[in-house]
Amino acid sequence: MTPDEPTRTAGEQEALALDAADPGHRDLFDVPPAAGGPYPQVAYFAGNSLGLRPKATPAELLADLDAWAELGVEGHLEADRPWLPYHELLTGPAARLVGALPSETVVMNSLTVNLHLLMVSFYRPAAERYRIVIEDSAFPSDSYAVRSQARFHGHDPDDAVVRLTPRDGEDCLRTADVIARLDEEVALVLLGGVNYLTGELMDIPAITAAGHEAGAVVGWDLAHAAGNVPLCLHDWEVDFAAWCSYKYLNSGPGALAGAFVHQRHLGDARLPRFEGWWSTEAATRFEMAAESRPPESADAWQVSNPPIFSMSPVRTSLELFDQVGIGVLRERSARLTAYLERLLGGITPGRPLRVITPADPERRGAQLSLRIAGPAGAGEVAKRLRYEYGVVADTREPDVLRLAPVPLYSSYHDCWRAVTALAEVVPKSAGVNA
Ligand SMILES: Cc1ncc(COP(=O)(O)O)c(C=O)c1O
């Protein structure tokens, strides 16, 4: 980190001092070069979209690839990490990350596919109870998934899918308002644990309990929660959940996803599931029986044999989370996000910028979203941040800029760079509240 100018402002000096005192684990990651600005590396704030590559990933992946070269098909049993049970290497660390039993957890497929496979089991509409509750700001894939599930069961999705909106003038949902919408017509509640747009961390235990009270099944999309905030899916009695591994879990674009099914549903023969040869118990899989014998674990939701070279980066990343610990990361995350929030508070007055993420640290993870009013569209702002300042943020059309200070690798200096750049890219404008 060597700025061109030799003199540093007091603000920059403060950021560097905070980094010295609270360094995180940036050294374990490859930080891309900057496309502009005075610093060699980007200030990366898009880890809630695609996390950075751990330095250990290529060598670990290469070792798995070499086993293929050296052993061919025998690698299934004879590789140092044999491929047949390879997915089990991911189960323990993934379970620890989401507060689940290993038997409740499996890494497989991608997120939306897992949501569909889980809804096959857990969206069982009846004549009077058929609605699915989601957030109006659900990620579109979830929206399409639940609409297609409703249609699959013969319902009109416009009728079956209930979309929760915040109160007028508010950006986030209130827990009490969510709970108030859960009635005897709701078959399934499927919400984002952390909302992708606003960064709001939902009250997962309270909403899960209220959903159960109303007689509904409660599932969670944890794409923005896994690896971001501590989770206790087993103790919270969540019915099912799924998450991807390419955001906070740093496992690469399109990386494999996780799935959770609560213990009380395991082995329930009444639950429909879509099956394939990986749905049957491993011990008798090669007896080539005509009927499956599903294990009493989340493995029963697997369908196909897993892609080993896609599992390798997930394994490497989960080992890292095991080493550092989500509790420690959450503490650094709170400090880093509070610092970013303080700096933003210094520039938003008089500018058409407004933080829409909850101010309460308990109701958010490692993300602050800003709504940008006026002519400077969020996309244009992000472009200038990247090419003129080397700050990588991401946008959600039309007007939201998302900044994710990721506790594993983001620095206080990154935060300082982002806010300093934002202040230059979005000028003060008349008529905006100071
Ligand atoms: C909240 C949320 N749900 C679902 C998805 C879709 O994930 P996938 O492409 O792995 O199905 C994403 C992707 O970013 C997401 O953020």
Calculated CA dihedral for residues 52, 259, 110, 249, nearest 10 degrees: 0
Check residue 5 and give its pLDDT.
Answer: 55
**pLDDT recorded at residue 430:** 67
Q: Ligand 1 center to residue 168 CA distance, Å?
A: 27
Burial of 56 (0-12, 13-18, 19+ CB in 10 A): middle
Mean pLDDT throughout 362-366?
98
Ligand 1 within 6 A of CB of 310: no
CA dihedral 32, 33, 34, 40 (to 10 degrees): 130
**What is the per-residue pLDDT for 2?**
54
Tell me the C-alpha distance between 35 and 382, whole Å: 12
3 state DSSP class of 243:
strand
- 258: Cβ below 6 Å to ligand 1? no
CB atoms within 10 A of CB 352: 20
Asked whether 15 lines ligand 1 (CB < 6 A), one says: no
Task: Tell whether omega for the bond before 398 is within 30 degrees of 0, i.e. cis.
Answer: yes
27-39 burial, b at 16+ Cβ within 10 Å, e below that, comes to ebbebeebeebeb
Cα of 257 vs centre of ligand 1, distance in Å, is 10
Q: Does domain 10-30+325-425 have CATH number 3.10.20.30?
A: no
User: What would the DSSP string read from start to end of 238-256?
Assistant: -SEEEE-SSSTT---TT--
> What's the gap in Å between 227 CA and the centre of ligand 1?
15
pLDDT, mean over the chain: 96
The per-residue pLDDT for range 373-408, each reduced to its tens digit, is 977 789 999 999 999 999 999 998 889 999 999 999
Q: Is the pLDDT of residue 329 over 70?
A: yes
Whether residue 251 has its Cβ less than 6 Å from ligand 1:
no
Average pLDDT over residues 271-285: 96
d(CA 14, CA 90): 40
CB-based contact 191:133 (threshold 8 Å): yes
DSSP for 62-128 reads HHHHHHHHHHGGGHHHHSSS-STTTTHHHHHHHHHHHT--GGGEEEES-HHHHHHHHHHHH----SS
Distance between CA atoms of residues 273 and 286, nearest Å? 21
Q: CB under 8 Å to 168, separation ≥6 — which residues?
A: none
Binding annotation for pyridoxal 5'-phosphate: 111-112, 139-142, 221, 224, 246, 277, 305
Check residue 281 and give its pLDDT: 96
Residue 3: pLDDT band (50, 70, 90) is low
- Quick one: tokens of 213? 């009270």
Kindly list the domain boundaries of the chain, sorted by start residue. Answer: 10-30+325-425, 59-324
Ligand 1 centroid – CA 71 distance (Å): 35
Which of the four CATH numbers 3.40.50.2000, 3.40.640.10, 3.30.70.3270, 3.40.190.10 does domain 59-324 have? 3.40.640.10
Whose tokens are 């996803």? That residue is: 257
Distance in angstroms (rounded) separating the CA atoms of residues 86 and 81: 6
What is the sign of the dihedral through the CA atoms of 8, 423, 166 and 192? negative
CB 244 near ligand 1, within 6 Å:
yes
Give the whole-angstrom CA distance, residue 387 versus residue 37: 7
C-alpha to C-alpha distances, 298 to 100, 159, 274, nearest whole angstrom: 11, 32, 13
Is residue 305 in contact with ligand 1, taking CB distance under 6 Å?
no
DSSP label of 364:
B
All residues at 6 or more sequence positions from 187 whose CB lies less than 8 Å from its CB, including other chains: 123, 124, 125, 126, 129, 130, 131, 132, 216, 217
Distance 223 CA to ligand 1 centre (A): 6
Nearest-atom index, ligand 1, CA of 138: 1
Which pLDDT belongs to residue 398? 87
| pLDDT on residue 433 | 61
Residue 6 has pLDDT above 60, yes or no: no
Alpha-carbon span 114 to 304, nearest angstrom: 13
Once rounded to an integer, what is the mean pLDDT over residues 357-385? 94
Spatial distance between the Cα atoms of 386 and 406, rounded to a whole number of angstroms: 18
Query: What does the block give as tokens for 71?
Result: 């052993």
Query: What's the pLDDT score for residue 7?
Result: 83
In the structure encoding, which two tokens stand for residue 192, read together? 């984002």
Q: Helices (DSSP H) in 242-377: which residue ranges?
A: 308-324, 326-347
Label residue 4 by pLDDT band (50, 70, 90). low
| pLDDT of res. 273 | 98
Q: What is the mean pLDDT of the segment spanning 282-290?
A: 94
**What percentage of the chain exceeds 90 in pLDDT?**
95
Ligand 1 site, residue 221, Cβ cutoff 6 A: yes
The answer, yes or no, to whether residue 254 has pLDDT greater than 60, is: yes
